[in-house]
Structure 1
């Protein structure tokens, strides 16, 4: 059987209003002086929210709003909830009056699809299903699905076969299916940041698999985000210092279809192959959704193409490690 390694990790949101620390360096004298903390489940992962505001009732209400917003958006984008909007669209192949959030994400997908020469394509779900079913067999061919099955799956792939606007979404070819896992996590991160900012939060780190910072830390220092290949889970190979930026990392080792780690979740919509060219690829940008999508696309590009695409985008940077350990950086100096 296949050994599935999830890329999902614990969610952490730390936030503070102006003039207040995220966490005290010394013990709080009274419980009411401490930041408010919530522990639970969000996006299918353990979640911790730490919020420091002078008005604890307001802080508690804001935590409830954050949790409710995550749940609401999950009900739109999740592939694991059969009652989600996305699962309904995949089943029916069409939808009238789609949620505006779904249309907004599809517009972002279309932009990155075009900028990446079709390497970012959320219609790769048939390929994902092919690889998952192949390696779920009791004795799968270690070489992966055969070429004919890959060609069949590819015949259902192509973002150009989705027509959408504010009033409808239609698949013009069937069977087709969407996965928004390459952008929705970043999009939800962005929405939570918008919510926090609207409530006067000036210092925050939102880590929902994709990371986005509001301002600096409360002591004025930039946020520090460690980078390493997902599978290593050890000491960070490098640390980024960021302020008002998002960080998204893609690594084939984050999810493997097979025991030998030869086939990862980063699927090429043109060739049908399931192999990334990098041990780790990290994108730094303003919005987590955009960084999330480009981190997938860049994982399938040659370094020169990554460089030229980054140069054409405003406020986008890349830090990558090749399979043989070479490290390259493109874009503005944000390190």
Structure 2
């Protein structure tokens, strides 16, 4: 497997209690406020948390609670930790007494699956495994996996019959697996927002893989969120304003299974092929969970279906960059 470009994941929190102005990173805080900063790793990415508060002890507690929550959720949603609940589910096909957060996130998966008529589907893990294994071989056919193998993988895709409640989660077919990589970062972002708000934070920009603006900036202006340039993902291609909105972007540039870039991570659960409709799709919605999931699904849908979906939602804004370079904005 040879990724062309990895999706950049910078995890950050910049938060201020009501009435406090934010100060530039690395400078001393205002005389009446305390700045507590933490650097490290979270959700597999470089992370920075900054919290400003009149009471330094409160700021420290908010940072500690946020980090504890991120680490707790990593132990639920990770595909790579042997002790993760999701790994146990995929290994055995059943999970008894599942963590409540896993059940809650699967309920949101169901909602997004229904909204998009199956375009968002966490059971695409079987397809991911197929492409990963195929292109990991030194003699891999550059045209992709053989048709019989693709059909076999598609037989293990389909969220409809997955059963879950507070007592158990059951995958109905042998060899099925779930991936929550298209929604979990948004969920973690929303949980950190809940912690900050409970601690009195009313102005914040939280990014656990998908940014969410809490309120406006202390100046009263909207937060400004950069969107990656699909041709040069390390650069900002557009800047969007957000107040009490999450911003999530998906694009084929994020990850490629093959060196030539023909097969990307946006796998269509209906066909098993990679999405190629757009260079990038950016979604603005009140929660990062929904924005994260729908930016993935919308990458596989034509504009008329996207418009229909956000009309059903009754809210949201979608920015499409087509393969020809045209910018299209859809709004509920």
- Indicate whether the TM-score tops 0.5: yes
Counterpart CA distance in 2 for 1:79 and 1:155 is: 21
Between Structure 1 and Structure 2, how many residues are aligned?
332
How well do the aligned residues superpose, as a CA RMSD in angstroms?
A: 1.9
Name whichever of 39-48 and 303-312 sits farther off.
303-312
Equivalent residue of 1:21, what SS? Answer: coil
Partner deviation per Cα, 1:198-231 (whole Å, 9 max, x = no partner) = 1100100001220101111111110011223355
Equivalent residue number for residue 62 of structure 1: 62
Counterpart CA distance in 2 for 1:34 and 1:192 is: 20
CA 1:67–1:108 in 2, change beyond 3 Å: closer, same or farther? same
Counterpart CA distance in 1 for 2:118 and 2:30 is: 56
In structure 2, stretches of 5+ residues that fail to align are: none
Equivalent residue number for residue 326 of structure 1: 326
Shift of residue 40, structure 1, vs aligned partner: 0.7
Shift of residue 8, structure 1, vs aligned partner: 4.3
Equivalent residue number for residue 155 of structure 1: 155
1:265-280 aligned within 5 A = 265-280=265-280
In structure 1, stretches of 5+ residues that fail to align are: none
CA 1:236–1:173 in 2, change beyond 3 Å: closer, same or farther? same
CA 1:30–1:166 in 2, change beyond 3 Å: closer, same or farther? closer
Equivalent residue number for residue 182 of structure 1: 182
Shift of residue 38, structure 1, vs aligned partner: 0.6
Equivalent residue number for residue 85 of structure 2: 85
TM-score by length of 2: 0.95
Partner deviation per Cα, 1:263-322 (whole Å, 9 max, x = no partner) = 110100010002331100001000100111111111001111111112111221100101
Q: Is the contact between residue 230 and residue 279 of structure 2 (CA under 8 Å) also seen in structure 1?
A: no
Q: Is the contact between residue 227 and residue 236 of structure 2 (CA under 8 Å) also seen in structure 1?
A: yes
Shift of residue 183, structure 1, vs aligned partner: 0.7
Runs of 4+ in structure 1 off by over 4 angstroms are 24-27, 29-34
TM-score by length of 1: 0.95
Counterpart CA distance in 2 for 1:112 and 1:29 is: 42
Equivalent residue number for residue 258 of structure 1: 258
1:225-264 aligned within 5 A = 225-230=225-230, 232-233=232-233, 235-264=235-264
Equivalent residue of 1:269, what SS? Answer: coil
Equivalent residue number for residue 74 of structure 1: 74
CA 1:185–1:27 in 2, change beyond 3 Å: closer, same or farther? closer
